[in-house]
């Protein structure tokens, strides 16, 4: 721990050629921290050497890193290099020539990059590359922050963060520890706020460059070693450096780092050679970032009084982190955690497991066909509880299951067979909580005795289901309003979601489609109540007719040509189609609020191959060199595909429903919605997918195909078509009002809205 395991000078000042070397500050802090934010003025072998000592120990601690670096050397830096060449051999790297770096590296340097590669592979590092708008560089940036999840230490000073400065020159670093009082806490906040301002893209003094090239190069060039291999490498390096060090103070620093790493390696070698990497993080749960966002703290504060609540939070604002933070607060108070998490799909079971591990939660039980032993794992919990000597801290666990599994009577009984005491202590988290209102789940709610509850959804309301909505609200202890709300507008305004431009395109039905559309509409007119403005009752004939007509809208032939025009226009404007998502038309089933209540692995439409192949072909016809991949249910190497999309190796993804819930693609910049969904949940989720923040994305672009019938409808069909068109325009209205260019939608749809006497504002 930073407070107890690091030896601190009383003055908190580290100065070269004294007992308190700046090099020692970084070595000690890395060995005892779990998060590290640093702004490096430039990429140099010397700076890398400084960070190499204790870096693998930092990874073993479960370390996460945020790195800001300048893209090239300033003129001042270049002059300093020329002056210093005769004194010390210090290669400096221009990031525009990142491919050349590997040829100049020492073993110590390569160890550093192998650690970076591990961080990248395990999604534990974020990199920002910046260049100043005015001036030559940020070569002497000198601030950063370490944290161990409990304590924080920030640093500032005259140190320019090269090894020549830290070892040879008279340089100093001032450390500020949050246990030293309010004054130091304020200094830490200033340093953290300054770093976050630059990291979040809000620093007007710099330009932000893409980090893809560096990330791709590091992961391709440097070996993907596991934690144990990296620690053994670090141990050998520290032994060598200790033997060859000429300075007593530096030798003492290296000895302490060597001792720390040796203890870890010895522990792993004593019967733990096969330890899993995820077990090498600290056993104590902690928030995976320095601290929750302010609104995530507010959500917990709103929830803790009654221990029940429904969080209505925009897609992309961290609903998962918000709910797991509540579980973390329970752990912090009682020193154990017990939870049942309900999710829509098997894919989300895996993703929630990953998120739980990021908090260092363990003993995660996945209820699915892939884990045949889940029943015995639950029986083990019961057995442990029955043993008198078992304390509650040994009964920590998290169960993750799909709604479909939860709704099966045998599974439900097994989960609810846990003792009354455990159910009183457990936290139930329902992801996409609207699924709770499905009839086959709603019928079981009275038998759920778990008292602590959190429901999560960007859109908690169920379409056309007042009974289900009431059941959801009551189950989570809500009356007239949600426990916590965080809208998409708030998220965009506060910089947590990306700004976007929205371009709707009107697509007309062709002659044959219009004839079929009219024919079905005449049949539907028999079911339509003009006074109420809706269909009377629900039966199989009505549903089949609605589905049949919906398919005409979804699969309108003219969509293909409009799509082709959009793709061609964007390719000509940008020179490529990188980071593009295409939502292909669907239409084999009506938009549903209950699909996940009966299946945890929904498939795309039966003619998915034909439709996706067609739209994929159009992309390749416009740009034969563009790499495009179909993202469909059952796709092999799913994570690899998403990873290649994030680096630009795969430029376009075409999909139907597989990108709807639980798929993170923050690198996406352009989305083309060819599916005409009237389900608010579906289009809100899809918009949230494209608006997730990414360091190299400053604004997102959304194109939306809006289908409308011709204006020659008979008078008896006018009101029905007007009400049905409202669903299509509701999506346009919702998208346009938060966009950067709302006037475009008004102009594009003015003729239609005037004809049907509708408004999008």
pLDDT digits (tens, 9 = 90+) for 603-619: 444 566 788 889 999 99
pLDDT (average), residues 683-711: 83
Task: Identify whether the C-beta of residue 102 lies closer than 8 Å to the C-beta of residue 116.
Answer: no
What local confidence, expressed as pLDDT, does residue 501 receive?
A: 96
The answer on pLDDT for 83 being more than 80 is: no
Task: Identify whether the C-beta of residue 410 lies closer than 8 Å to the C-beta of residue 404.
Answer: no
Which residue would you say has higher pLDDT here, 761 or 568? 568
Task: Identify whether the C-beta of residue 658 lies closer than 8 Å to the C-beta of residue 635.
Answer: yes
For residue 329, CA distances in Å to 109, 110, 335, 342, 422 come to 40, 40, 9, 20, 17
Question: Which of 82-96, 245-259, 293-307 is predicted least confidently?
Answer: 82-96
Q: Residue written as tokens 């919702």?
A: 734
The answer on pLDDT for 45 being more than 60 is: no
pLDDT (average), residues 716-728: 71
Burial of 418 by CB count in 10 Å (0-12 exposed, 13-18 middle, 19+ buried)? buried
Cα(579)–Cα(692) distance, integer angstroms: 13
pLDDT (average), residues 156-167: 51
Which DSSP helix (H) or strand (E) runs through 526? none
Cα(314)–Cα(492) distance, integer angstroms: 10
Q: Residue written as tokens 């579980």?
A: 327
Task: Identify whether the C-beta of residue 144 lies closer than 8 Å to the C-beta of residue 155.
Answer: yes
What local confidence, expressed as pLDDT, does residue 730 receive?
A: 82
Tell me the pLDDT tens digit for each residue of 144-154: 899 987 889 99
pLDDT (average), residues 550-563: 88
Going by pLDDT thresholds of 50, 70 and 90, the confidence category of residue 27 is confident
What local confidence, expressed as pLDDT, does residue 92 receive?
A: 40
What local confidence, expressed as pLDDT, does residue 103 receive?
A: 40
Which residue would you say has higher pLDDT here, 50 or 266? 266
What local confidence, expressed as pLDDT, does residue 350 receive?
A: 86
Task: Identify whether the C-beta of residue 90 lies closer than 8 Å to the C-beta of residue 162.
Answer: yes
The answer on pLDDT for 90 being more than 80 is: no
Task: Take residue 453 and report the two structure tokens written for it.
Answer: 């509850």
What local confidence, expressed as pLDDT, does residue 672 receive?
A: 94
Query: pTM value?
Result: 0.62
Q: Residue written as tokens 């672009």?
A: 701
What local confidence, expressed as pLDDT, does residue 251 receive?
A: 74
The candidate with the shortest Cα–Cα distance to 670, out of 583, 559, 745, is 583
The answer on pLDDT for 492 being more than 50 is: yes
For residue 284, CA distances in Å to 5, 62, 151, 273 come to 17, 11, 14, 22
Which residue would you say has higher pLDDT here, 640 or 297? 297
Cα(78)–Cα(72) distance, integer angstroms: 10
Going by pLDDT thresholds of 50, 70 and 90, the confidence category of residue 642 is confident
Tell me the pLDDT tens digit for each residue of 588-606: 444 444 454 555 555 444 5
What local confidence, expressed as pLDDT, does residue 81 receive?
A: 32
Burial of 118 by CB count in 10 Å (0-12 exposed, 13-18 middle, 19+ buried)? buried
Q: Classify 335 in phi/psi space as left (phi over 0), alpha (psi -120 to 50) or beta.
A: left
Q: For a pLDDT cut of 90, what percent of the chain falls above it?
A: 28
What sign does the CA torsion over 520, 521, 525, 529 have?
positive
What local confidence, expressed as pLDDT, does residue 104 receive?
A: 40
Which residue would you say has higher pLDDT here, 512 or 429? 429
Cα(384)–Cα(391) distance, integer angstroms: 9
Identical fold, 13-74+89-254 and 294-492: no
DSSP string, 711-760: S---HHHHHHHHHHHHHHHHHHHHHHHTSS-HHHHHHHTHHHHHHTT---
Going by pLDDT thresholds of 50, 70 and 90, the confidence category of residue 408 is very high
Going by pLDDT thresholds of 50, 70 and 90, the confidence category of residue 718 is confident
The answer on pLDDT for 527 being more than 70 is: yes
Going by pLDDT thresholds of 50, 70 and 90, the confidence category of residue 76 is very low
pLDDT (average), residues 395-424: 93
Which DSSP helix (H) or strand (E) runs through 60? helix 55-60
The answer on pLDDT for 105 being more than 50 is: no
What local confidence, expressed as pLDDT, does residue 47 receive?
A: 55
Task: Identify whether the C-beta of residue 159 lies closer than 8 Å to the C-beta of residue 165.
Answer: yes
Give 294-492's CATH code, choosing from 3.40.50.300, 3.40.50.880, 3.40.1280.10, 3.40.50.12170.
3.40.50.300
The answer on pLDDT for 168 being more than 70 is: no
Q: Residue written as tokens 């030798």?
A: 251
Cα(711)–Cα(707) distance, integer angstroms: 13
pLDDT (average), residues 673-698: 77
pLDDT (average), residues 296-318: 93
Q: From the DSSP assignment, how many helices (H) and strands (E) are in the chain?
A: 31, 25
Residue 485 φ/ψ, nearest 5 degrees: -125, 140
pLDDT (average), residues 54-69: 83
Question: Which of 17-21, 293-297, 678-682 is predicted least confidently?
Answer: 678-682
What local confidence, expressed as pLDDT, does residue 670 receive?
A: 94
Task: Take residue 609 and report the two structure tokens written for it.
Answer: 């191959």
The answer on pLDDT for 389 being more than 60 is: no
What local confidence, expressed as pLDDT, does residue 359 receive?
A: 92
Classify 498-509+557-591+601-756 by CATH class: alpha beta
The answer on pLDDT for 169 being more than 60 is: no
The answer on pLDDT for 401 being more than 90 is: yes
Partners of 702 in beta bridges: 502, 671
What local confidence, expressed as pLDDT, does residue 79 receive?
A: 41
The answer on pLDDT for 73 being more than 60 is: no
pLDDT (average), residues 175-202: 90
The candidate with the shortest Cα–Cα distance to 403, out of 336, 478, 352, 364, is 352
Give domain limits for the chain.
13-74+89-254, 294-492, 498-509+557-591+601-756
pLDDT (average), residues 344-356: 88
Partners of 157 in beta bridges: 173
DSSP H stretches of helix in 359-438:
374-386, 403-407, 409-415, 420-425
What local confidence, expressed as pLDDT, does residue 699 receive?
A: 92
C-alpha 495, offset from chain centre: 15
Going by pLDDT thresholds of 50, 70 and 90, the confidence category of residue 306 is very high
Specify the fold of 13-74+89-254: Endonuclease; Chain A (3.30.870)
Task: Take residue 261 and report the two structure tokens written for it.
Answer: 């790493």
Q: Residue written as tokens 């209102």?
A: 437
C-alpha 733, offset from chain centre: 27
Going by pLDDT thresholds of 50, 70 and 90, the confidence category of residue 720 is low
The answer on pLDDT for 311 being more than 80 is: yes
What local confidence, expressed as pLDDT, does residue 411 receive?
A: 92
Task: Take residue 601 and report the two structure tokens written for it.
Answer: 């692995």
Mean pLDDT of the chain: 79
The answer on pLDDT for 282 being more than 50 is: no
What local confidence, expressed as pLDDT, does residue 597 receive?
A: 53
What local confidence, expressed as pLDDT, does residue 531 receive?
A: 65
For residue 144, CA distances in Å to 8, 133, 199, 745 come to 17, 22, 12, 45
């Amino acid at each position: 721990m930073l407070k107890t395991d690091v030896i601190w000078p009383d003055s908190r000042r580290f100065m070269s050629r004294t007992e308190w070397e700046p090099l020692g500050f970084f070595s000690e802090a890395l060995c005892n921290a779990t998060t590290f934010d640093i702004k490096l003025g430039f990429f140099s072998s010397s700076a890398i050497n400084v960070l190499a000592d204790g870096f693998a120990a930092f990874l073993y601690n479960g370390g996460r890193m945020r790195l800001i670096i300048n893209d090239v050397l300033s003129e001042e830096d270049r002059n300093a290099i020329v002056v210093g060449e005769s004194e010390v051999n210090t290669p400096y790297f221009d990031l525009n020539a990142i491919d050349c770096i590997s040829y100049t590296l020492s073993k110590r340097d390569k160890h550093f990059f192998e650690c970076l590669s591990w961080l990248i592979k395990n999604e534990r590092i974020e990199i920002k590359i910046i260049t100043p708008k005015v001036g030559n560089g940020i070569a002497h940036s000198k601030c950063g922050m370490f944290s161990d999840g409990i304590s924080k230490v920030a640093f500032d000073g005259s140190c320019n963060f090269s090894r020549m400065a830290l070892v040879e020159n008279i340089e100093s670093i001032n450390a500020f520890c949050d246990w030293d009082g309010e004054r130091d806490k304020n200094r830490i906040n200033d340093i953290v706020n300054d770093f976050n301002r630059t990291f979040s893209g809000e620093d007007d003094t710099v330009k932000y460059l893409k980090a893809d090239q560096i990330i791709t190069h590091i992961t391709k060039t440097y070996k993907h070693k596991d934690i144990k291999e990296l620690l053994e490498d670090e141990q050998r390096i520290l032994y060598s450096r200790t033997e060859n060090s000429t300075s007593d103070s530096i030798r003492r620093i290296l000895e302490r780092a060597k001792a720390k790493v040796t203890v870890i390696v010895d522990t792993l070698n004593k019967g733990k050679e096969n330890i899993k990497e995820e077990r090498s993080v600290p056993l104590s749960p902690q928030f995976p970032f320095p601290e929750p966002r302010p609104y995530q703290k507010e959500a917990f504060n709103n929830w803790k009084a009654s221990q029940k609540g429904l969080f209505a939070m925009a897609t992309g604002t961290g609903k998962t982190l918000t709910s797991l933070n509540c579980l973390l607060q329970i752990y912090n108070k009682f020193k154990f955690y017990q939870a049942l998490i309900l999710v829509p799909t098997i894919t989300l079971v895996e993703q929630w497991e990953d998120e739980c591990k990021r908090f260092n939660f363990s003993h995660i039980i996945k209820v699915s066909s892939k884990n045949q032993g889940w029943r015995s794992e639950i029986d083990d919990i019961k057995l442990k509880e029955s043993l008198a000597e078992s304390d509650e801290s040994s009964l920590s666990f998290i169960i993750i299951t799909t709604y479909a599994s939860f709704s099966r009577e045998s599974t439900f009984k097994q989960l609810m067979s846990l003792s009354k005491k455990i159910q009183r202590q457990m936290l139930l988290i329902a992801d996409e909580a609207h699924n709770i209102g499905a009839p086959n789940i709603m019928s079981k709610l009275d038998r759920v005795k778990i008292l602590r509850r959190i429901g999560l959804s960007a859109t908690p309301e169920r379409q056309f289901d007042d009974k289900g909505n009431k059941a959801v609200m009551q189950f989570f202890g809500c009356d007239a309003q949600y426990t916590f709300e965080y809208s998409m507008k708030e998220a965009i305004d506060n910089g947590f979601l990306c700004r976007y431009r929205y371009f709707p395109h009107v697509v007309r039905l062709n002659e044959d489609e219009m004839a079929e559309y009219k024919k079905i509409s005449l049949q539907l007119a028999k079911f339509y109540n003009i006074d109420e403005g809706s269909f009377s009752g629900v039966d199989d004939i009505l549903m089949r007719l609605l589905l049949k007509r919906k398919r005409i809208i979804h699969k309108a032939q003219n969509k293909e040509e409009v799509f082709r025009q959009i793709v061609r226009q964007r390719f000509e404007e940008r020179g490529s189609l990188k980071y593009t998502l295409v939502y292909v038309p669907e239409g084999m089933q009506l938009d549903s609020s209950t699909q996940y209540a009966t299946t945890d692995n929904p498939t795309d439409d039966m003619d998915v191959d034909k439709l996706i192949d067609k739209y994929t072909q159009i992309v390749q016809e416009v740009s034969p060199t563009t790499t495009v991949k179909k993202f469909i249910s059952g796709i092999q190497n799913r994570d690899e595909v998403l990873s290649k999309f994030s680096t630009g190796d795969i430029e376009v993804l075409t999909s139907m429903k597989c990108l709807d819930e639980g798929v993170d693609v923050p690198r996406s910049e352009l989305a083309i919605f060819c599916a005409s969904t009237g389900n608010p949940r579906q289009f809100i989720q899809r918009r949230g997918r494209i608006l997730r923040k990414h360091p190299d994305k400053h604004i997102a672009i959304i194109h939306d195909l809006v289908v409308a019938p011709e204006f020659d409808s008979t008078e008896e069909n006018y009101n029905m078509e007007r009400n049905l068109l409202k669903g299509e325009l509701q999506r346009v209205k919702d998208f346009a009002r938060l966009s950067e260019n709302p006037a475009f939608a008004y102009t594009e749809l003015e003729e239609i809205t005037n004809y049907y006497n509708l408004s999008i504002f």
